[in-house]
Chain A
């Protein structure tokens, strides 16, 4: 005991002396570079390298100092508590009952924690995405809400049980625990009830999932096809021309003028259009056809509950029906500059955090107007490169049976 206390004291004294030394050093340093900022959080552009570096070390030293001070305060508090405890025991009273204090802390944590969870649900919960702007998204949101209600009930119930049990059944010399090795009835109950609840969730989840991902072939045929090629760190957009069909692509055909590698052996390619943004008509089935050129990317439109990976060598697609136009969403959110944005949601390199594209949902008329202004993918440079002289009329390719979407 004596040994222990003396080492503690030694530590405290040596750290105090160390601190004092440190402080004086820092004070002197501050005198010489009094113009330099002291906070690490707001450094200015360094006029003088050494001055900035001094300031930096000052800032770090300052923070370390604060931390050491906190440590010392804690150590001293610990000592005081210990001494208090010992005096209590010397007066043959009961010492500090840490077991009880910890039990009370758990009780307190439960109350504060539940309030914290409530606060999170209401404050941060109001910052989440607005209602889905797509047909299937509404079903996802329903599924989400059902799951949220069930899990919140279980969350609150089990956490209350956990911490109240910890509080109520805190140890005491007077009591012996209740010897209860098992109870088959209750165990069966809490195996079967979660199983039933999960079965319900699985059934509804499967139905929702199937309805979203398993779009009937006939519906896929009637959808507007948009072709997206992802590469580091941009999305290339291609629309079908008048024939409504996208020409085939082949990554091997890549060139500076043919960035997505459109295959001109496929006659459907000739009238394809290129676009800088994705503009789609509202309430029309939309089929996004995806592929990546270099690494995996993910096509993520959170407002529409849409996400599918773009994988090199593996064409993927996602079909959905947007239901809220950008303008409507602007009014709804009371944000006149709002735009739907396409995120990349699969780590793809240094600029992953800024691989975006505007995704605009407009009325049909507006869409047609926009579409008519888009330029053909097959521009003059590409024609030259492909040694093409004649522009083929779009009508002649309609009869061609080669379709991109052989379904």
Chain B
């Protein structure tokens, strides 16, 4: 096609002979452990992410038990946790550690590394038509830094005073003063060390994703032909690369404050009757640095999920994604805006009210691209021919959560309303729906959808349905009532609601929420069984089990090194030609040139190229004459 762009793609020049398996003498170590193959690294990220996710979920069940039964002793907790649950009751400080580590693992290790790490690694080369990432070695390092960060984070459960306990936002001075709480001692040091490694991992990953997307697209794959997944991963990586270093800066200064006696965040402190010498620092500075990452971070979490949902919904509605350009522009809009909204986490810190007002404006503006995305998803379903694969179910669930959780963001983004809602259960409900449940649903949709590309087999559909419904209903049962607790002014991170008369009315609700949480947690067993069982015994997948258009489904089921046995396919069209009128099938892969689909070509396809338009119109003229 004349419109096909020629892209300088060194990888595509290589022929199969150089990449064939017989040249690689892979040992177990190079194939499964220190692998440089993007598909294997993706699987490493996924399985590590799943394990971390299960751990974080178990932590949440532990503190949910405390919230449901604040007056009951559970001897098994003492057996399980030892000194952290004396006489079978969680220690209040350990409760905070559980909350902290649950949040940290879920936000960073599962929904950032587990989600971006898995699907960016898997799909960027496969959907763009590249043999591997720009730097496979850096990619391997990225995983191993991540893995080390995981190990360090978990090791904090085995130090004397327990893991970090200052909340996942680790605001100083609480986190800076080891004597302020047990969770600010060794556990916090490990948290900070783990985080530095984690950010290093994310930067290596992010740089790799960006350079691969920019430089290694196959012939014909111009930016506007990329699937929305790739757009989402690309913009997520840009966000990460620009904002994660700021977190490291904040963390490094915190490390200095903790161990070298500096006063970046400390001033006028009296702790346990001792006047500390620190002067001139500001805890608010840390909040600015933290949220400069922290807010983009929630978009780092949700954008890949959005990309996956867009792709899965288009494939399974058998319809092009509605408003492809609007979807891309809204992603770009979210990317840009997400850098200038961080202050909405700090409305009540005593920050100048004028700045609060500015942040309120930017925050509510970001709701516009989010609304556009939602409406476009709804329009994608409209008059579709929907195939309810488990992936599709989870994608629909994502949209539902994104709406429910996104709308409460309009309350919280409003500085005036935030005065009363800040740090209450309303916030907990909001972010668990909009970035917690929605993002995890995006991730699960991705796992179900691309499982065949990862393992060559299919996951069991019925178990997927069971998993979906229990999780979907469970998540709503857990988080919906929390809104009302927040509206009653119940603060988050409270160890027990027993000390305030006004909160006692929520004790029974807490019990209910805990049981709903336990149900959803047990529902994940269906997923875990399905996942691990299907790796070995699942139904064998065909090359293109979902009849999808994107390039990854043109690779062989065997998942060879270098992805395509021969030359890398050329791309001629966008990835959303589903149910195109005039074509006999309801999908046209990106590799099919327009010359083979003369019956279904639309003027729009030619991007105003007069030559091709002429060819097409001549063909139509000719054919209509034949009909006459």
Residues of chain A at the chain B interface (Cβ within 8 Å): 4, 7, 40-43, 46, 52-53, 55-57, 59-60, 67, 71, 74, 78, 81, 98-99, 102-103, 105-106, 109, 113, 116-117, 120, 124-125, 127-129, 137, 139-140, 143-144, 147-148, 150-151, 154-155, 158-159, 161-163, 165-166, 169-172, 175-183, 186-187, 190-191, 194-195, 198, 201-202, 205-206, 208-210, 212-214, 231-232, 250-252, 254, 256, 261, 290-291, 293-296, 298, 300, 302-303, 305-309, 311-314, 316, 337-339, 341, 343-354, 356
A162 touches B420 (CB 8 A): no
- Report the interface size class on chain B: 35 or more
A219 CB, min distance to chain B CBs, angstroms? 15
Which residues of A are found within 8 Å of B96, using beta-carbon distances?
347, 349-350, 352
B410 interface residue, CB < 8 Å from A?
yes
Q: How many whole Å from A343's CB to the nearest CB in chain B?
A: 6
Interface pair B423/A124, CB less than 8 Å apart: no
Determine which residue in A57, A67, A169 has the highest number of CB atoms from chain B within 10 A of its CB, and name it. Answer: A169
Least CB distance, A12 to chain B, in whole angstroms: 13
Query: Can you spell out 10 A-B residue pairs with CB atoms less than 8 angstroms apart?
Result: A154-B403, A169-B385, A176-B385, A177-B318, A178-B383, A187-B323, A210-B357, A232-B271, A295-B173, A295-B180
Check A201/B410 contact, CB under 8 A, given A41-B69, A182-B322: yes
Q: A179-B320, A356-B499 are in contact. Are A171 and B386 (CB under 8 A)?
A: yes
Instruction: Indicate if the CB atoms of A190 and B403 lie closer than 8 Å.
Output: no
Tell me the chain B residues, 223-269 only, with Cβ under 8 Å from chain A.
266-269
Interface positions of B from 569 to 609, Cβ below 8 Å from A: 576, 578-581, 586, 604
Smallest CB-CB A-B distances: 4 pairs: A302-B489, A313-B267, A316-B350, A213-B353
Q: Which residue of A lies closest to B403 (CB)?
A: A158
Closest CB of chain A to B69's CB: distance in Å? 7
Cα separation A346 to B172 with both chains bound (whole Å)? 12
Given A140-B416, A210-B357, A350-B92: A251 and B270 interface contact (C-beta under 8 Å): yes
B356-385 CB contacts (< 8 Å) to partner A:
356-357, 360-361, 364-365, 367-368, 371-372, 374-376, 378-379, 381-385
- CB contacts (< 8 Å) of B322 on chain A: these are 180-183
Q: Are A158 and B374 in contact (CB under 8 A)?
A: yes
Give the contacting residue for B501; candidates A7, A294, A337; CB below 8 A.
A337
A46 to B404, CA, bound (A): 46
User: Which residues 513-550 of B sit at the A interface, judged by CB distance below 8 A?
Assistant: 522, 525-526, 537
Min CB–CB distance A301 → chain B (angstroms): 9
CA distance A175 to B586 in the complex (A): 10
Chain A positions within 8 Å of B379 at CB level: 180, 183, 186
Question: Does B46 sit at the interface, judged by CB under 8 A?
Answer: no
Tell me whether A307 and B348 are in contact (CB under 8 A).
yes
Question: What's the least CB distance linking B541 to chain A, in Å?
Answer: 15
Chain B residues with Cβ below 8 Å from A162 are 378, 381, 396, 399-400, 403
Q: Across the interface, which residues of A come within 8 angstroms of B484, CB to CB? A: 120, 124-125, 127-128
Contacts of B396 in A (CB 8 A): 106, 162, 166
Residue of B nearest to A300 (CB): B491
Q: Which of B438-497 contact A (CB under 8 A)?
A: 461-463, 465-466, 469, 472-473, 476, 480-481, 483-485, 487-489, 491, 493-497
Chain A residues with Cβ below 8 Å from B526 are 74
The answer to whether B556 has its CB under 8 Å from any CB of chain A is: no
